[in-house]
C-alpha cells in the first residue's frame, strides 16, 4: 500500500506591514489555488470568542470556524494570525474538514504580503486603511446591514 504524501505548505514569514503593524508575507512564490497556511489556535465556543473580542479591543485574533466554535489565534496560534485585511486581498479562506485554511486567490510573488478580505459583520464599522484601489473604507462585509446603510446614507 502506498504511503500518503504529506502536503508541503509554502514558506511564509512575519514582518512589518505597510497596511497595519505586522503582516504575513510569502517566503516563496505561491501559485493560485494553493493552500498557504492553516489558521491555528485555541478552539472555543463562539460565545467565548465574542467575549474575548470585546475584552481585547487592541488586538483580536478570533476567527469564526462555524456556528458553534471560534479559533483564538492568540492562544497556541501561528503566523496566520498576522494576515491583514485588504479589500482586494490575494487570498481567501476556506474551512476544510473543520480547519481554517488560507488559499491563494491569485499568484502571490515572493515577499508579497498575504492579505484577505475580513468581511466583518456586527454592530459597528471597522475602518479600513488597506490602500487598495477598490477600498470600500471599512473592513466590514460589503453585504453587511451596516455597510448597506453607509452606501445609502441611512
List, for residues 46-79, the tens digit of each pLDDT value: 877 777 766 655 567 889 899 999 999 989 999 9
What separation, in Å, do the N-terminal and C-terminal C-alpha atoms of the chain show?
63
Write down the pLDDT at residue 72: 92
Write down the pLDDT at residue 62: 87
Nearest-angstrom CA–CA distance, 20 and 3: 43
Beta strand pairing call for 113-116 and 84-85: parallel
CA 77 to chain centre: 13
Closest CA to 135 of 88, 90, 89, 91: 88
Low-confidence ranges of the chain (pLDDT < 50): none
Nearest-angstrom CA–CA distance, 154 and 146: 9
Write down the pLDDT at residue 46: 85
> So where are the chain's domains?
12-40+78-119
Second-level CATH architecture of 12-40+78-119: Beta Complex (2.170)
139: left (phi over 0), alpha (psi -120 to 50) or beta: alpha
Write down the pLDDT at residue 33: 97
Write down the pLDDT at residue 58: 58
Amino acid at each position: 500500500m502506498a504511503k500518503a504524501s504529506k502536503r508541503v505548505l509554502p514558506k511564509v514569514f512575519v514582518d512589518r506591514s505597510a497596511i497595519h503593524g505586522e503582516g504575513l508575507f510569502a517566503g516563496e512564490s505561491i501559485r493560485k489555488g494553493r493552500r498557504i497556511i492553516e489558521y491555528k489556535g485555541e478552539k472555543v465556543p463562539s460565545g467565548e470568542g465574542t467575549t474575548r473580542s470585546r475584552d481585547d479591543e487592541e488586538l483580536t485574533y478570533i476567527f469564526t470556524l462555524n456556528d458553534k466554535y471560534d479559533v483564538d489565534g492568540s492562544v497556541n496560534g501561528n503566523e496566520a494570525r498576522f494576515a491583514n485585511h485588504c479589500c482586494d486581498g490575494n487570498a481567501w479562506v476556506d474551512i476544510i474538514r473543520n480547519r481554517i485554511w488560507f488559499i491563494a486567490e491569485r499568484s502571490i510573488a515572493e515577499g508579497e504580503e498575504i492579505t484577505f478580505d475580513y468581511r466583518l459583520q456586527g454592530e459597528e464599522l471597522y475602518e479600513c486603511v488597506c490602500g487598495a484601489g477598490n477600498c470600500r473604507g471599512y473592513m466590514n462585509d460589503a453585504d453587511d446591514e451596516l455597510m448597506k446603510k453607509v452606501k445609502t446614507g441611512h
